[in-house]
Amino acid sequence: MVKENCACLKTIEYKIFTILQVNELKAKLGPLVGRNAIYCSDACLKRYLVARNWNVDKAKKMLEETFKWRSMYKPDEIRWPEIAFESETGKLYRASFHDREGRTVLIMKPGKQNTTSLENQIRHLVYLMENALLNLPEGQEQMSWLIDFNGWSLSTSVPIKSARETVNILQNHYPERLALAFLYNPPRIFEAFWKVVKYFLDPKTFQKVRFVYPKKQESVELMKSYFDEENLPSEFGGKAQLEYVHEEYSRLMIQDDVKCAAFWEPGEKQHHVINGYTSAAVAPE
């Protein structure tokens, strides 16, 4: 009973601390308008605080860099027809199932690489991360990645420069969005590539990477603990026989594009946030 009371007290203290830190960050950011106001939910502010070990000033700086990046890169304006050709082989797509925590799952199959433009490949990934987050269940903030290395080779691997840019985007502009990345059965030759890439990862991201080998029982149990075998595709050790059909997936993405536009572009009304309260101000984006 004493332990339960102590745990309950710590939970309450943590919630109070979180509220205070979030409110302080709001105050330092000042009034937000347009898409920045939509972006900066309390949950978002908390993610940036966690990423910067609850340092409000560092979290503010990180957020402001994200504002600049989103303003220039415009990830919320990428639409499926622009990058659909990148998905023709099914090398990267949002799964139709969630993990046991209800997180959206992105499936990656780098061995099915079909293009050479690094810019388009990164744009494709950003689009699907935005899409994955748009489809998170209520109360869930993170996604999981399943990476299948069947057919992967150094000739199909992304260049180190591209890998570094991808890591930077994930860590700097999508903090605390990745729950876990499962690297399924990577070949021995991948070790050389990983030795370089891992130095780009901050400690928190590095801890989220799991190497999974189907012949090792601990790997099998790990996958079972995070995924329902009935939903998990057979190439990841599950029982589901799933096939990526580009035409069907394209229809889903076009529907999601409509949902994305409705979320980010609420007509002429512009979200305006002062001290955490949202109102509507009529002004152009």
pLDDT at 197 over 50: yes
10-19, 37-46, 83-92, 273-282: segment of lowest average pLDDT: 273-282
Dihedral sign of CA atoms 174, 178, 183, 184 in order:
negative
* 275 compared with 271, residue with greater pLDDT: 271
Q: Strand 104-108 to strand 143-148: parallel, antiparallel, or no bridges (unpaired)?
A: parallel
> Among residues of the chain, what percentage have pLDDT more than 70?
90
Please state the domain extents for the chain: 1-73, 80-264
Predicted confidence at residue 155, as pLDDT, reads: 72
Report which of residues 10 and 117 the model is more confident about: 117
In this prediction, residue 274 carries a pLDDT of 39
End-to-end CA distance of the chain: 54
Residue 192, token pair as written in the block = 């050389």
Please give the class, per CATH, of domain 80-264: alpha beta
The string of pLDDT tens digits covering residues 174-196 is 999 999 999 999 998 888 889 88
Q: How far are the Cα atoms of 10, 132, 230, 263 from residue 145, in angstroms, in the given order?
A: 31, 10, 18, 24
pLDDT, position 181: 97
Three-state secondary structure readout of the chain = CHHHHHHHHHHHHHHHHHHHHHHHHHHHHCCEEHHHHHHCCHHHHHHHHHHCCCCHHHHHHHHHHHHHHHHHHCHHHCCHHHHHHHHCCCCEEEEEEECCCCCEEEEECHHHCCCCCHHHHHHHHHHHHHHHHHCCCCCCCCEEEEEECCCCCCCCCCCHHHHHHHHHHHHHHCCCCEEEEEEECCCCCHHHHHHHHHHHCCHHHHCCEEEECCCCHHHHHHHHHHCCCCCCEHHHCCCECCCCCHHHHHHHHHHHHHHHHHHHCCCCEEEEEECCEEEEEECCC
Q: What is the pLDDT of residue 52?
A: 96
Q: How far is CA 88 from CA 83, 91, 113, 248, in A?
A: 10, 8, 10, 11
